[in-house]
Amino acid sequence: MICPSCGAPEMEHDTRDVAYTCKGGTTAFVGIEGFYCSKCGESVHGAKIGEKLSHMAVAFNKRGPLPDDFNALTRLISQDDGRAARAHLAAGSPIYYREARTPPGVCVKEFPDGHRELVRFDMESGKETVVSTVTDT
């Protein structure tokens, strides 16, 4: 797949340890499957991994609210080739992703019935809040 960050044509599918940096510290998330850009270091993960990362990031961020890092986090809740997302929907679970037009700091939550909402994750509690319903499908 094409790197969404720098446009490099090849991203490598791999399982790696991902360094997560925020104000005052860095932690490593071990064994994260996804697509990695060798040119700029961007990584893209499926919805399931995105959720896992968001939970780990929330745990790490318990030390304090870190709003500046929110876009980096929601960027991780991102698209893969669509297989993982479809499997998730087929299993009756909602998926999370971002689109080019998705406002900063939020992500799209899509339900198996096609209903979509914009949600935001509270970085301290990990709770998601519905910002609005997406109607322009």
The whole-angstrom separation of Cα 117 and Cα 136 is: 11
Residue numbers at the binding site for Zn ion (CB under 5 A): 3, 5-6, 8, 37, 39-40, 42
CB nearer to Zn ion: pick between 61 and 78: 78
Q: How far is the CB of 31 from Zn ion (least distance, A)?
A: 22
52 CB-contact burial (10 Å; exposed 0-12 / middle 13-18 / buried 19+): middle
**Which amino acid, residue 55?**
H
Q: How far is the CB of 67 from Zn ion (least distance, A)?
A: 25
CB nearer to Zn ion: pick between 37 and 77: 37
Q: How far is the CB of 115 from Zn ion (least distance, A)?
A: 33
CB nearer to Zn ion: pick between 8 and 66: 8
Crossing angle of helices 47-60/83-90, nearest 10°? 90
CB nearer to Zn ion: pick between 3 and 85: 3
Contacts of 87 (CB under 8 A, 6+ apart): none
- Residue among 28, 30, 39 at smallest CA distance from 4: 39
Q: How far is the CB of 84 from Zn ion (least distance, A)?
A: 21
Q: How far is the CB of 120 from Zn ion (least distance, A)?
A: 26
61 φ, ψ (degrees, to nearest 5): -80, 0
CB nearer to Zn ion: pick between 39 and 127: 39
